Amino acid sequence: MRGPHNIWRLIRTAGTFEKTGAMDVVLEQASAPRELRIAARVLGWPFKWLGYSGDPALPPVTRALTALGPSYIKLGQILSTRPDFVGSDLAMQLRVLQDKLPPFPTAQARAMVEVDLEMPVDVLFSEFSEPVAAASIAQVHQARLATDGRKVAVKVLRPGIARAFRRDIDAFYLAARLIEWLSPQARRLRPMDVIAHFDETVQQELDLRTEAAAAGEFAANTARDEGFSVPAVEWSLSGRAVMTLDWAEGIAMGDVDALDAAGHDRAALADRVMRMFLRHALRDGYFHADMHQGNLKVAPNGDIVALDFGIMGRLDEYTRRVYAEILMGFIRKDYRRVAEVHFEAGYVPPDRDIDLFAQALRSVGEPIFGMDSSRISMGRLLSYLFEVTERFGMETRTELILLQRTMVVVEGVARTLNPHMNIWQAARPEVESYIRGNLGPQAFARDLARTVRVMARFGPHLPRAVEAALVRHRPDRAPLDGADRKPRVQGGIWFAAGAFTVALVWGLVALA
């Protein structure tokens, strides 16, 4: 869908930002260079009359994005995870951007269900309600299964939403290219990568089979977590445009008065929200990356129920270990160790001064740990940490920024439940538990066993590899110049010896 319409879409976007007053806010908060300011004004000011007015009751940026439609709302949510790109204050404003739109008719939803599941709605469900929630990409209906009467939630994509997003994403790519072309210094922030990440996220959300798979994986990982649950997926009633899950009864976590009336212990809930988030991030490397109050319920039995699995985060095992060591270093105020971890992980270039870096880390940690315990913020610490590491040459790491953004959201949820909560006191047991299991002798033995298993998979190839190496390096096949013969023969011997060692290890593993 490349074409002139993308330029028209950018002009209308700039006009909307000018008309709503959002342009000034964005340019200032993002510290946009002169070239980008000029280009934005050229695109926006003359075409202000073409812009949408939006809701005057909303703040300027929220007003502009909401007026421009679902794609822009989603882009704003993604940019809230990139304070390095839009600035900390603007990122904070974008975090509260509400992904809510008027529902589309139930008749359309029923038609989409019938097309996707290839059966009449009345055959599948004995009840199918009006929409109970509506967002930019999909809406949710309450229903009852025709087979056993169980209550379920049926999520249905908006009609035509894929085409609408594709059109706007093409315009976003054009904007990213213009930013990189006009401002070479902005290339460090990789605008094209930001839009590519947005594109990937949206494409996953536009296929509800992907979200169903995320819900299933998350449920399997957390099945033994006491006090936490994930609704089960009804796979036979889920497809590309429809996803069906068990209905989750409970009180929205943001409704503090209702939680009190039901007798729930809010302080215990606050601790559990923080612990569960860290446990999933560190233990599983797979965490719910949109854990705001609207996606969390408290069941009648006190369990925390997670909903909406469109945005999930992953951390590889090595990154988890690095992250845990960084957190533990700050908890113990061992700034030298935190600095060493950054250098060992390659996050900071090796030519930088480790002592100066450790000193800069102290400037991050000490002011925060000097606060009253109820004001200590792990999210703020990580935000300051990224600012310091950027000064020392650390490149942007999207997975860590997503983790930091989610942590800020989780902290906000926890403090709503318990304003006097000590975040670090709640976090410490999970971090220490992970470190004991993954950074000590047990972890070393486990890593060694995995290495041996990987080597063992090549066992069947070893006899032929050894024979080929010996034939290739036979003395009678060496060059006539004897000066080159000895190294080649020695190389063949060493290769054969190495192959024999691997074969031996493979044999021992097989016998074990």
User: Could you give the residue numbers annotated as active site?
Assistant: 290
| Cα 35 to Cα 27: distance, rounded to the nearest angstrom | 11
| Cα 399 to Cα 407: distance, rounded to the nearest angstrom | 12
Residue ranges of the alpha helices (H) in 395-440?
A: 398-417, 423-438
**Are β-strands 138-145 and 151-157 bridged in parallel, bridged antiparallel, or unpaired?**
antiparallel
Can you name the residues that pair with 158 across neighbouring β-strands?
none
| Angle (deg, nearest 10), helices 378-391 and 317-331 | 110
Tokens of 265: 């212990």
Map tokens 């090549």 to a residue: 458
Map tokens 């990789």 to a residue: 190
CA distances from 416 to 1, 228, 287, 293, 413 (A): 44, 19, 21, 9, 5
User: What is the Cα gyration radius of the chain?
Assistant: 28
With contact defined as beta carbons under 8 Å apart, do 286 and 314 qualify? yes
| Cα 81 to Cα 390: distance, rounded to the nearest angstrom | 16
Q: What are phi and psi of 64, to 5 degrees?
A: -65, -50
With contact defined as beta carbons under 8 Å apart, do 41 and 104 qualify? no
Tokens of 353: 């001064």
Amino acid identity at 129: S
Can you name the residues that pair with 128 across neighbouring β-strands?
143
Both ends of the chain: CA-CA distance in Å? 58
The strands making up 242-246's β-sheet, listed across from edge to edge, are: 125-134, 138-145, 151-157, 242-246
Q: What are phi and psi of 216, to 5 degrees?
A: -65, -45
SS3 312: strand
With contact defined as beta carbons under 8 Å apart, do 306 and 280 qualify? no
Q: What are phi and psi of 247, to 5 degrees?
A: -75, 135
With contact defined as beta carbons under 8 Å apart, do 269 and 417 qualify? yes
SS3 245: strand
| Cα 130 to Cα 107: distance, rounded to the nearest angstrom | 9
